[in-house]
Amino acid sequence: MKPILTTLIVSVSTLLFLISGCLGSSAANGDTWLIIVGTDTVTVSRIGEAWNGLDQEQREYFTGNTDPVGQYILTYTRKLILQTELETEGYLSDPGIVSGSDSWLGFMTVKRAHDYFLSVAETAVTVSDLQFYRDHIGKSVWYTLNPGTDSSISRGPDHLPELSFGLASHLDTLSIGQAGSSESGIIARLDSVEVTDAVLISEALADTAACNRMATNRIANGRNNRWMNGIRNSMVEEYSISVDTAALSRLVDFYSGNGELIEEIVVESDLGNWSAAMVRDEINFLQSRIYVQPTSLTWQFYFIENLIFGSFLAESLQQAAPLLVDSLRVEAESYLFDLASEKYYDDMVSSEVTVTGSDIEEQFNNLEGPFIIEEMRSVQAVIIPPDHMEDYRAAIRNGSIDDYAATLNGLLYLAVDSARPQITRLLRMSDIPGGFGREVFLIDRSDTTSWTGPFQLTESTGHALFRLIDVVPEREALLEEVRIPLELMVRTRLEEEATVALMQRLEFKYEPRVNDEVLENLPVDPGLWESL
């Protein structure tokens, strides 16, 4: 969330907003106006509905305040001011921002569709399904479909009870090497079988509830995946999908830096058409969430397939759960508002703030307390291999620990010089491996002869020994050492000041009014306002 929204929520006393008395009777019902901003009039019930739509954490922010209702009304008013400004200045209709919101809606619709249809599949799992799973748990099979034909396909290992019931029950009737046809027309040959250890199976079956939960999830996932894969395999013919390979290649060239983006149709289908710009926008949205390879033609085909399948899932979810889709659209409006707010903040605040060298120096000279550079230590660090502890003990007994340590490996990744791998660079306490920084930093600063340890790192790595080499005591930081955090401090302060000034201008521009006489007579719980 950008600072303009943070200030909108948490700054209570720094801004004044205009409050008018009630224009009429103080008797209130749900249709009574409570806030007016510009041409937007908000009723009591609408504000109560918004309160009931807050999540628990958001509601607790207000209820933890000394004046929950006043804080809520102030926040709601300022958000309404900002929304009015975003509409007036065209941010909520900006093509790039709208595209980002649309991409978010598509992404979340597909995600919710997966979850929804999986839950539907889970509710369809029957008692007999669970019994079949329990009877065959731990049995893996290798098999061939349509053996001896051009369409022969070998598969496995697959967990038998997670296959489709028709195939699983058919394979269960076959002996290894035997082929046959089921009543439903499945032709298969059982090639091999492997059964999990009986003790492990017994342990899995012992907890009936846990076993049934696992079985339900596995069976439902299998059915859901088979349904989705079936749709994917039939999409091209079912939905008349046509991909312009040349256009897709030009899109790859664009991402490879070998051409401009050409506004042309890349995909046509009964589920919708996608232009090069639309595909680009989807990739731009996803690249912050998943790994993308837009310079690969193979990946672009894969991505196009997912776009089309996502459209199918969105239509399917609309038909199966329209209320769920409606709630997603409401969330998308909120996401659009957030995107627009961020862009507005960048344009009106962030880009207008400049931090100078003198600003940083002034901040440094007026700190409440100095920046402290914590103590750092350089050590000789060696690793005793797991099977060499007896050699270490012998060296201790013989008084030859220094000679023995010289034969051991150091921590090269901590070394300053690869020619001296045992000698580390200067380390903070948190840099000491194995979490043994406290032990190393308790070594007396004058003791550069004693070894500390051994400390076990891991069973496979062995034990570490440390000997102090050098100490750089804790000290106050110089300006140049903390210039970056100082610049951030100054920028944060200047942006907060600019945000406050901006909100003051917006309040003057839109002249918000709050019906305080009605507000004083409303129930103290805003959740009750919706039903007044």
Q: Which residue, chain included where needed, has tokens 């380390």? A: 427
Lowest pLDDT segment from 25-29, 32-36, 310-314: 25-29
Task: Decide if pLDDT at 16 tops 80.
Answer: no
pLDDT tens-digit readout, 387-414 = 899 999 999 999 999 999 999 999 999 9
When pLDDT is averaged across residues 219-247 and rounded to a whole number, the result is: 90
177-204 burial, b for 16+ CB within 10 Å, e for fewer? Answer: eeeeeeeeebbbbbbebeeeeeeeeeeb
Per-residue confidence band for 231, with pLDDT thresholds at 50, 70 and 90? confident
pLDDT tens-digit readout, 337-391 = 999 999 999 999 999 999 999 999 999 999 999 999 999 999 999 999 988 999 9
Q: Which residues contact 95 (CB under 8 A, 6 or more apart)?
A: none
pLDDT tens-digit readout, 195-218 = 999 999 999 999 999 999 999 999
Both structure tokens of 14 = 């720094």
When pLDDT is averaged across residues 475-481 and rounded to a whole number, the result is: 94
pLDDT tens-digit readout, 447-457 = 999 999 999 99
Task: Decide if pLDDT at 223 tops 90.
Answer: yes
pLDDT tens-digit readout, 138-190 = 999 999 999 999 999 999 999 999 999 999 999 999 999 999 998 888 999 99
Q: What is the model's pLDDT at position 410?
A: 93
* Helix%, strand%, coil% for the chain, nearest 5: 55, 15, 30
Q: What is the model's pLDDT at position 452?
A: 94
Domains in the chain: ranges and CATH: 375-473 (3.10.50.40)
Report which of residues 15 and 216 the model is more confident about: 216
Beta-bridge partners for 382: 465
SS3 107: helix
Q: What is the model's pLDDT at position 27?
A: 59
- Residue 478 near residue 347, CB atoms below 8 Å: no
Both structure tokens of 228 = 């989705």
Task: Decide if pLDDT at 515 tops 80.
Answer: yes
Q: At 137, which helix (H) or strand (E)?
A: none
Average pLDDT, the chain: 91
Query: Residue 308 carries which side chain, given as an amino acid letter?
Result: I
Task: Decide if pLDDT at 12 tops 70.
Answer: no
pLDDT tens-digit readout, 420-462 = 999 999 999 999 999 999 999 999 999 999 999 999 998 778 9
- Residue 238 near residue 316, CB atoms below 8 Å: no
Q: What is the model's pLDDT at position 324?
A: 95
Q: What is the model's pLDDT at position 233?
A: 85
Task: Measure CA of the first residue to CA of the last residue in the chain; give whole Å.
Answer: 33
The angle subtended at Cα 469 by Cα 467 and Cα 470, nearest 5°, is: 135
Per-residue confidence band for 26, with pLDDT thresholds at 50, 70 and 90? low
pLDDT tens-digit readout, 62-94 = 999 899 999 999 999 999 999 999 999 999 999
Residue whose C-alpha is closest to residue 427's, from 380, 379, 382: 379
Per-residue confidence band for 10, with pLDDT thresholds at 50, 70 and 90? very low
Q: What is the model's pLDDT at position 209?
A: 95
The angle subtended at Cα 345 by Cα 342 and Cα 351, nearest 5°, is: 120
Q: What is the model's pLDDT at position 246?
A: 95
